Amino acid sequence: MTARQRTSPVTKSEKPPTEQKPTIASSEDFHLSPPKLRVIFVISSLLCSLYLYLLCFHYNVDSELKRPILINAGLSLVGFFVTLKLIPVAARYVLRRNMFGFDINKRGTPQGDVKVPESLGIVVGIVFLIVAIIFQFFNFTEDSLWLVEYNAALASICFMILLGFVDDVLDVPWRVKLLLPSFATLPLLMAYAGHTTIVIPKPLVSYLGFEILDLGRIYKLYMALLAVFCTNSINIHAGLNGLEIGQTVVIAAAILIHNVMQIGASVDTELRQAHAFSIYLTQPLMATSLAMLAYNWYPSAVFVGDTYTVFAGMTMAVAGILGHFSETLLIFFLPQVLNFLLSLPQLAGIVKCPRHRLPKFDPATGLLTGTKDGTLVNVYLRIFGRKSEKSLCIHLLVFQALACAFCFLLRHFLAGWYK
């Protein structure tokens, strides 16, 4: 639930009669603020440098594998620039169609009256799909086994983008929104030809009596639930400029580092293919998201819409499922899990749930104060005191990065003990 005050389609009833809807003239005058490229450069360096270092220098990656990865990185870079160019164009079209919101966290200041174009996630989604489709030509031969999973992944992600965009346009009820990712996951579940076994943690083996448990269909159910969780959890951990994309790129960086580490540390070709597969989807996600972040970073010139959050969630779920590291992915998602648990009482209806569960904004000081709502944003504010929106977002992104780092530590220490 993105926390932008969505203008009701019947805007006239809420505004004074003198205010007319935008005419063609004003959308021609519409200029999008320039992208914040320096911020993006800093963020990209922070996120990608460790990954690229590990890929190119630290590990001895088989050149057969390294080449497609670098080709994919090259295509992703092209995707970055294409997205960067297309967002201002799309923003004009979207505004013309009256798909915009007002920034609630700036209400009371002049910026709170600016019409911010919504649902620009559609640009990211389409460029991602085109990059992912074109990449097939460089990597897979026609009778490769991976082609099935790759096309199933594309079908799932594409279906999710479609449902997300339909939701942004038509505003479907939230119960339907919960259900949609399950449909979108079906191609993936069908194509998943991997093992459905889980390895029992060593300490429990003596209790259970076996080392490996074949979950069969329950494993597929778990995969579907994982997709539903990923798509919706990013959606509710939102509401600050740059938070939705920010959490995505931080997790994506962690995914990439994890994949490279697994490739570098293993000799099993199946395992390496699985992790390479995950890289092929995550690099374009990272690149196109960073391009949009250039416009969405504080202060946001565009909003991402549900289109982006469900697309990002689904892509990461797909990468985690087909790369066989879904448990690791869940630990990367620790802040989202926390947020979900905090939100449960309100989502379940036990505690009253308002339309927006945003912190309170004080125009005089420009600081946000935490309310009693059960979200990570609010709880963080209540623990650490009032903050400006930008500073709070950075804090939460650092928290996300720390959670990912914690996951790496956990894996390292439990490696011998757990499996």
Which residues sit at the interface with its own copies, rule CB under 8 A?
9-13, 20-24, 90, 93-94, 96-99, 122, 125-126, 129-130, 133-134, 136-137, 140, 142-143, 147-148, 151-152, 154-155, 158-159, 161-163, 165-166, 169-172, 183, 186-187, 190-191, 193
Crossing angle (nearest 10°) for helices 63-96 and 269-296: 30
Contacts of 242 (CB under 8 A, 6+ apart): 293, 296, 297, 298, 300, 393
Given the complex with its own copies, which of 125 and 374 has the nearer CB atom? 125
Which three-class secondary structure state does DSSP give residue 356? coil
**In the bound complex, what is the minimum distance in angstroms from residue 115's beta carbon to its own copies?**
13
Q: How far apart are CA 290 and CA 41, in angstroms?
A: 9
Q: How far is the CB of 159 from its own copies (least distance, A)?
A: 5
| Of 227 and 251, CB closest to its own copies | 227
**Measured from the CB atom, is 157 or 256 closer to its own copies?**
157
CB of 21 to its own copies, least distance (A): 6
Nearest CB to its own copies, comparing residues 96 and 382: 96
Closest CA to 348 of 370, 374, 377, 386: 374
Nearer to its own copies, 171 or 214 (CB): 171
Residue 39 CB, nearest approach to its own copies (Å): 28
Smallest gap from residue 217 Cβ to its own copies (A): 11
C-beta separation of 232 from 198 below 8 A? no
Smallest separation, CB 98 to its own copies (Å): 6
CB closer to its own copies, 133 vs 178: 133
Give the β-pairing of 197-199 and 360-362.
unpaired
Residue 350 is classified by DSSP as S
- Residue spans of alpha helices (H) in 215-268: 217-236, 243-265
The Cα–Cα gap between 176 and 154 comes to 22
Rounded CA separation 339/375 (Å): 5
